[in-house]
A = this chain, B = another copy of it.
Amino acid sequence: MNGAGALIRTLVAAGVDTCFTNPGTSEMHFVAALDGVPGMRGVLALFEGVATGAADGYGRMAGRPAATLLHLGPGLGNGLANLHNARRAWTPVVNIVGDHATYHTKYDAQLQSDIETVARNVSAFVRTSASTAALAGDAVDAVRAALGPPGQVATLILPADVSWTEGGTPVELSGPLTATTGTAPDADVVDAAAKALRSGEPAALLIGGRACRTPLLDQLSALAEATGAKLLCETFPARLERGQGRPEVERIAYLAEFAAMQLDGVRHLVLVDAKSPVTFFAYPNKASDLVPDGCTVHPLATAASDVAGAVAALTDALGATGTRPRHTAAERPGLPEGALDAAKVCQAIGALLPEGAIVSDEGNTAGVFAAGATAGAPPHDWLTLTGGAIGQGLPVAVGAAVACPDRRVLALEADGSSLYTIQSLWTMAREGLDVTTVLLNNGSYAVLNMELQRVGADAGGPKARAMLDLHHPDLDFVSVARGLGVQAERATTAEAFNDALGRALATPGPSVIEAMVAPL
């Protein structure tokens, strides 16, 4: 067996059974070995950012890593933005990056570059496998590193000769690898947090990561009920369980002005798998730190912690085991009517979202009404732009749909953002994924029109405005989607949108609905 064969067998044994690929010549032995290992599924992407974003979406939903297969430094570079998002989501990902044969690197051939340097930008684990004999062991180390906690990006660089040389031996494992238990809670922090929550002073629990999902989310909602603390969530959670019958959680706003209002008066902020809140960007003459003056921050659990243990310890310290979480009541808006706008798009989604849906949200400004419109919809998961690197929504939808074939994925996507990784649509079609993409076409980088004002920049003349404008020429996403093999239609009225969304959600496979909306 060659190195590639041993590598793939080891990955499967370790619990990695899906590989999002965009291979080149140096990866051909890995590709050829796929057929010999029935347990590994290969999913082709037409661009590396699709592969890495899909691995992120997969990892968020499956709770275990997918692999990617990328082609040298440039291939990793193309995948970097969505690996950045995965890093910020604490998603486990195992990148396999092909490299030249070990003896070929000294010639500095055209594709030669310093892969490890690029990988370090996003990876907590980087290793170039030195030999076919070592390769399977390297793979186990990479999967372990990816699993964490925290979940993280692990990059294993695979020289072509290490892949093609005979003598590979898979590592025998007793079963799939799982994350180790994280750091135990600090007793002093637990006590301080408990004391703070009992103090009667205004307090909030700020949750993120694993605390946004069952069962911890229910437990934390119950603690908030027991103590009167607000239950807040980080601005961009990797995966938030929400909807009818799930705890009500308020996400910290992207806009610092609103975030400041949410945190106003809070004297104690207990962090549960979340970081202390800061503004997304800096703005002239505004503070970056969102923690109000006089507020004490209690870092109960980080992404590297035993979060469940920390929540249990806090519950014990509070003696709050009898309180029930505060669950959201079922409530859907009615279907919208008349001329279409972003609010009506979100209203229709709220009216029609099916139970168990997974929403991949890169709606940006146009999607701002979505959270409210779907708050009481049947239970669903919400995946967000964790790292702020746009071009994430469609690839994450691909990965989520591969991980959860029995659930409907709804990609809520902004026009500008969609174009970074629009190639995702083709993979949805090839794999027959149940992804309904709602593409909000407002003809602009609308968020930047807002940010241009917010950073205090001069409003700018025609040259500046042209940099934020997506007209001239107008984009026709129906045509683009059809060209990539996905059925698509355009809606300019609420009624047409309602019909299209209802049909799309009831039809197996992918489709795109281009919703024509004005900028906010």
Q: Does residue A479 face the partner (Cβ distance < 8 Å to B)?
A: yes
Question: Is A29 touching B457 in the complex (CB atoms < 8 A)?
Answer: yes
CB distance from A123 to the nearest CB of B (A): 11
Q: Does residue A42 face the partner (Cβ distance < 8 Å to B)?
A: yes
Chain A, residues 13-49, CB within 8 Å of chain B (1/0): the string is 0000000010111101101111100000010101101
Chain A contacts with B in 460-504, Cβ cutoff 8 A: 460-464, 466-470, 472-486
CB distance from A246 to the nearest CB of B (A): 25
Give the nearest-CB partner of A276 in chain B: B107
Question: Is B475 touching A483 in the complex (CB atoms < 8 A)?
Answer: yes
Question: Is A28 touching B452 in the complex (CB atoms < 8 A)?
Answer: yes
Chain A, residues 53-82, CB within 8 Å of chain B (1/0): the string is 000000000000000000001110110110
Q: A80-B74, A282-B103, A483-B477 in contact; A452/B31 too (CB < 8 A)?
A: yes
Question: Is B110 touching A88 in the complex (CB atoms < 8 A)?
Answer: yes
CB distance from A169 to the nearest CB of B (A): 19
Q: Which residues of B contact A29 (CB under 8 A)?
A: 455, 457
Question: Is A113 touching B84 in the complex (CB atoms < 8 A)?
Answer: yes
Q: Does residue A416 face the partner (Cβ distance < 8 Å to B)?
A: yes
Chain A contacts with B in 112-134, Cβ cutoff 8 A: 113-114, 117-118, 120-122
Question: Is B73 touching A121 in the complex (CB atoms < 8 A)?
Answer: yes
* Copies assembled: 2
Give the nearest-CB partner of A26 in chain B: B281
Task: Report how far A519 CA is from B470 CA in the complex, Å.
Answer: 36
Q: Does residue A456 face the partner (Cβ distance < 8 Å to B)?
A: yes
Give the nearest-CB partner of A472 in chain B: B430
Find A480's partner among B81, B114, B480 (CB 8 Å cutoff).
B480
Q: Which residues of B contact A282 (CB under 8 A)?
A: 100-101, 103-104, 160-161
Question: Is B32 touching A280 in the complex (CB atoms < 8 A)?
Answer: no
Task: Report how far A78 CA is from B21 CA in the complex, Å.
Answer: 17
Among A49, A78, A419, A456, residue most surrounded by chain B Cβ atoms (within 10 Å): A78
Task: Report how far A175 CA is from B110 CA in the complex, Å.
Answer: 35
Give the nearest-CB partner of A452 in chain B: B28
Q: Does residue A389 face the partner (Cβ distance < 8 Å to B)?
A: yes
Q: Does residue A279 face the partner (Cβ distance < 8 Å to B)?
A: yes
Find A110's partner among B78, B236, B456 (CB 8 Å cutoff).
B236
Chain A contacts with B in 202-253, Cβ cutoff 8 A: 235-236
Question: Is B74 touching A281 in the complex (CB atoms < 8 A)?
Answer: no
Q: Does residue A369 face the partner (Cβ distance < 8 Å to B)?
A: no
Question: Is B484 touching A480 in the complex (CB atoms < 8 A)?
Answer: yes
Q: Does residue A293 face the partner (Cβ distance < 8 Å to B)?
A: no
Chain A, residues 158-184, CB within 8 Å of chain B (1/0): the string is 001100100000000000000000000
Task: Report how far A25 CA is from B44 CA in the complex, Å.
Answer: 33
Q: Does residue A316 face the partner (Cβ distance < 8 Å to B)?
A: no
Q: Which residues of B contact A388 (CB under 8 A)?
A: 74, 110-111
Q: Does residue A305 face the partner (Cβ distance < 8 Å to B)?
A: no
- 5 tightest Cβ-Cβ pairs between the two chains A and B: A473-B485, A77-B80, A479-B483, A35-B461, A480-B483
Task: Add 9 more A-B contacts to A77-B121, A101-B288 (CB < 8 A).
Answer: A34-B464, A44-B467, A74-B85, A75-B389, A110-B235, A110-B236, A117-B118, A164-B455, A475-B485
29 interchain pairs (CB within 8 A)? A24-B451, A25-B454, A25-B455, A28-B457, A29-B457, A32-B458, A35-B462, A35-B463, A47-B420, A75-B81, A77-B78, A77-B84, A77-B121, A80-B80, A101-B282, A103-B288, A104-B278, A108-B275, A109-B288, A111-B388, A114-B120, A117-B117, A160-B281, A160-B455, A164-B455, A419-B426, A426-B475, A480-B480, A482-B483
